[in-house]
Homo-oligomer: A and B are copies of this chain.
Amino acid sequence: MDFEQSEHVNVLTERVRRFMQQEVYPAEKLYYEQEHTAADRWTWQPVLRELRAKAKSQGLWIFPLPKEVGGHGLSLLEYAPLAEAMSTSPIGAETFNCYTGTIWYAQLIHQHATPAAREQYLPRLLKECEITLVLARTDPEAPRHARHSIIIVPRHAKGLTVEGYDTIFGYDHAPYGHARLRFENVRVPAENLLGREGEGFTLMQGGIGVGRVALGMGSLGAAERGLYEMCKWGDERVISGQKLAERQVFADAVARSRMEINQFRACIMRTAWLIQKHGMKAARSEVAQCKVLAPNMALAVLDRAIQFLGGVGVSHERPLAEMYAYQRTVRIGEGADEVHRDLIARLELAQQRQARGTPPQG
Mark A residues whose CB is within 8 Å of B: 1-5, 21, 77, 166-171, 227-228, 231-232, 234-235, 245, 247-252, 254-256, 258-259, 262-264, 266-267, 269-270, 273-274, 277, 285-286, 289, 292-293, 306-307, 310-311, 313-316, 321-322, 324-325, 328-329, 331-333, 336-338, 340-342, 344-346, 348-349, 352-353, 356, 358, 361
Query: B residues within 8 A CB of A274?
Result: 3
A274 to B254, CA, bound (A): 22
A277 to B5, CA, bound (A): 14
Query: B residues within 8 A CB of A322?
Result: 169-170
Task: Select A273's contact among B3, B255, B338, beta carbons within 8 Å.
Answer: B3
Known: A5-B1, A170-B325, A248-B247. A341 touches B285 (CB 8 A): no
Query: B residues within 8 A CB of A328?
Result: 306, 314
Task: Select A249's contact among B21, B234, B252, beta carbons within 8 Å.
Answer: B252
Q: Are A349 and B234 in contact (CB under 8 A)?
A: yes
Q: Are B231 and A325 in contact (CB under 8 A)?
A: no
A307 to B245, CA, bound (A): 24
Secondary structure type dominating chain A contacts: helix
A348 to B252, CA, bound (A): 11
Query: B residues within 8 A CB of A166?
Result: 311, 315-316
A3 to B307, CA, bound (A): 34
Task: Tell me how many chains of this kind the complex includes.
Answer: 4
Known: A258-B348, A306-B328. 20 other contacts (CB 8 A): A4-B277, A21-B356, A169-B170, A169-B322, A170-B321, A170-B325, A231-B352, A245-B361, A251-B346, A252-B341, A254-B345, A254-B349, A258-B345, A259-B293, A259-B344, A263-B267, A307-B336, A314-B325, A314-B329, A314-B332
Query: B residues within 8 A CB of A259?
Result: 289, 292-293, 344
How far, in Å, is A91 (CB) from chain B's closest CB?
A: 16
Query: B residues within 8 A CB of A341?
Result: 251-252, 255-256
The residue of chain B having its C-beta at the shortest distance from the C-beta of A168 within the complex is B314
Q: Are A338 and B169 in contact (CB under 8 A)?
A: no
The residue of chain B having its C-beta at the shortest distance from the C-beta of A263 within the complex is B267
Query: B residues within 8 A CB of A269?
Result: 1, 266
CB-CB nearest 3 A-B residue pairs: A170-B170, A251-B345, A255-B341
Q: Are A345 and B255 in contact (CB under 8 A)?
A: yes
Query: B residues within 8 A CB of A245?
Result: 349, 361
A273 to B1, CA, bound (A): 8
Query: B residues within 8 A CB of A337?
Result: 307
A237 to B324, CA, bound (A): 27
